[in-house]
Amino acid sequence: MPNLSQSTQSLKTEAQRLGFEVSGCAPANSPSTFPEFQQWLQKKFHGEMGYMETRKEAYSDPDFVMENSVSVMMLAMPYQTQQPVTDSPLTGRIARYAWGQMDYHDLIHKRLKELCRHAQNIFPDARMRGVVDTAPLLEREFARSAGIGWAAKNTMLINKQIGSYFFLAAVLIDQPLEWDEAFEAFHCGTCTACIDACPTDAFVEPHVLDANKCISYLTIEHRSPIAVELRPQMQNWILGCDICQEVCPWNGKAPLATEPAFQPLPGHNALSLSELFELSDDAFRARFRKTPLWRPKRRGILRNAAIALGNEAHPESIKPLSLGINDSEPLVRGASAWALRQIQHADSISALAEREKVETDAYVLSEIKGRYR
């Protein structure tokens, strides 16, 4: 039977074969940053992500994810593929992680199952569970404990070799593994590029993010109308945001990912915004159902697209926004009304006036009239 070191190395070798470029192992102890996480929740920095509050105690111990966990194997899969297109008119930006042909959860879950089968051959009687994003696990703290990298000032985890453009996943197992040395160094130094570059000033201080102001949160998890004062700072982001990573020096020389599933779909590295308003519910589902753009649903994406068009304020946006202001979803109508008001063109003013005649939703009417509390 292989010893502990050989067993752990076998797992790491298999993980790399499956696309997890970096891996490390740590004890399944209570994470040291749990008190900070509690304070973050108390300050309501989690926004509308109520599930965090509901199961906050579960984050205190991996046993809530899988009973009798002994070890946590942390895994990093890079996803950076190419440089973003940023200057195309009437297009919206999508965060790099979502350029590919499928939701990364589906891909990684499949790879985790393969890794667990390999682990089961090594530990026939072991219990294990692979997770990515959805379990109450403070992944970045466990990744730091497993030696993968350090927590940056923008709250991302950075690895010296692959930067911060990577997905984190974990395998919990009720067996001891050869644990790696925790990453105790901090290589951000005096650099504050990530904090300085954030358009919405979402960083309360280094290492503390107020999700209520984060473009990534606003475009994906926030399901309500977006605060008027934040809309101009959202630029043309319609799903996620990479700004704090783009300016990070550690990402400048990070290697490109070769995973085929992460290669950009046509039109995802700069997405045509006008086309979105022409898609029915069924057409939207058919196009985006298996991609990350499905999470905010059609109403969320069109809300974001309308804000992006309003920020560009190009007369050619009037046609798609005129569709948006007559959409069945109040969230889309309201955002489209705001965007049309930004353009200040005779046709946009006419579209607003026509909609006002038939609109009955109080929120949408407030957007049409530009009257905010």
Catalytic residues: 133
Measured CA to CA, the distance from residue 265 to residue 122 in angstroms comes to 38
Burial class of 38 by CB neighbour count within 10 A (0 to 12, 13 to 18, 19+): middle
DSSP 163: B
Joined together, the tokens standing for residue 256 give 């490109």
Contact 40, 208 (CB under 8 A): yes
DSSP assignment string, 252-303: TTPPPP--GGGSPPTTTSSEEHHHHTT--HHHHHHHHTTSGGGTTHHHHHHH
DSSP 190: T
The phi, psi pair for 174, rounded to 5°, reads -90, 30
Q: Where are the beta strands (DSSP E) in 288-360?
A: none
Sheet holding 91-94, edge to edge: 237-239, 91-94, 271-272
Measured CA to CA, the distance from residue 243 to residue 221 in angstroms comes to 18
CB atoms within 10 A of CB 285: 14
DSSP assignment string, 13-24: HHHHHTT--EEE
Measured CA to CA, the distance from residue 362 to residue 307 in angstroms comes to 19
Dihedral (Cα; 95, 165, 132, 30), 10-degree rounding: -130
Question: Within a 13 Å sphere around the CA of 240, how many CA atoms are in the beta-carbon half?
Answer: 18
Contact 301, 276 (CB under 8 A): yes
Joined together, the tokens standing for residue 144 give 């730091």
